[in-house]
Amino acid sequence: MRLTKLILLLAALLLLLPGTALAEPQEQLFLRQVSVGSFDVWQHTDGRWQDTDHDGKPDPYGLTNKTLEPEVFTLPQTQYTSGFTVTRVEIEYDFTLTDEGLKNAGRSESWDYFNKKYLTKLPNNYKAEKTGEDLAQGEVTVQKTLDLTPELLDLKDPAIREELGMSDQDFSDLAQGWRWYTPVLINWYGVPKDKEEKEFEYGLVVCGVLPNGPDSSATPGGDPWLVEFGGYNEPVEIWIWDMYMDKLPDFSRSSEEVRKVKPLYILKLKPGETKTCEIPAKDDKYNVGYYMAMWKLDK
C-alpha cells in the first residue's frame, strides 16, 4: 500500500495542493416581493386639482416628472428569511415573472391576470429607483417618478368604481378623476447563515486527485491510498467524501447543507492527533481523489 502524508493546516493545504479552494457561502436571490402602489388625481367642479400626496402642490392631469414621497420597504421577518444575511437589495419596475415566480413573490393571481390588471395601467415615463438602504435592518427606500398621463382608469366610470370598491357617486361633467398603478419588484440577496456557526468554524478544502500509480502510465485499479490527517493545534472534525461517490455535497451551500450528505469518513481529532484513512482505488479510474470539509470544534 502507498502512504501519503498531508499536513492538514488549512493554509498549507491551499499552498501544497493545486486546485484546492476555500469555499464560502455563495450569494443567492432568496426572496422577491411585489408591491402594487397607485396614484390618483382629482379635479373639482370649480377647476381646482386636488393635492393628492399633500406636498403643498396641486396634482393636475398632464403634469410631467412628478416625484412621489419616498417609500420604505422592509424585509419580512420569518423563519426562512432569518436564515440569511442580507448582502444587497435591488429594485425593478419593468419586470416579467412566471406564475410560480409571482406566487413566490407573495401574489395569488396568475401572471396574465396581474399583467392585464396592473402593468397595462402604468403612467407614462414611470420609474422606481433605490435611493437608500439599511441592509442590517432589512430596509430599502424607493423613489418613484411619473407623468400624470395617459387617460387609463377613469374614476368617474361606475363600472371602474365598482371594480375598485369605491363608493357610488354622481359627478359633474366638469369633474375628473384618474388612477395609475406604480408596481415595484424588490429582490433580496444574501448568503445562508450557518446555524452551527457558534459551534463550528466551516472551512472546505476540495482536494486535487491523487495519481492511481507511481507515474503517468498508471493503470486503473490498484491499491488504495492511505492518507494521514493530523497536525492541528486545535480540535477539529473532518468529513471526507470519495470523489466518485454517487452523491456528493453542493460545496457552494452552507455548512448545514454540506453536513446533510453522508461522507465516507468522519474524523474527530484532538490537538496534535493524527489518523489514517483509506481512499479506495477504482477499477475503471486512473486517479484516486477525495473532497474534505473541516470544522474547528469548541474546546
One digit per residue, pLDDT tens: the chain, 299 residues? 344 433 333 333 333 333 333 445 688 999 999 999 999 999 988 889 999 999 999 999 999 999 999 999 999 887 678 888 999 999 999 999 999 899 888 888 999 999 999 999 999 999 999 999 999 999 999 999 999 999 999 998 888 888 888 877 766 666 889 999 999 999 999 998 764 343 334 454 444 444 444 333 334 556 677 777 777 788 888 888 887 788 888 776 777 888 888 998 898 888 888 888 887 776 666 556 677 788 877 66
What are the contacts of 91-94 at 24+ separation with CB within 8 A?
A: 91/128, 91/129, 91/130, 91/140, 91/142, 91/184, 91/185, 91/186, 91/187, 92/128, 92/184, 92/185, 92/187, 93/126, 93/127, 93/128, 93/144, 93/182, 93/183, 93/184, 93/185
Residue 132: other Cβ atoms inside 10 A: 11
H/E element, 32: strand 28-43
Map residue 135 onto helix, strand or coil: coil
Name the pairing type of β-strands 127-134 and 201-206: unpaired
Q: Please tell me the pTM assigned to this model.
A: 0.58
Domain positions in the chain: 2-25+194-296, 28-192
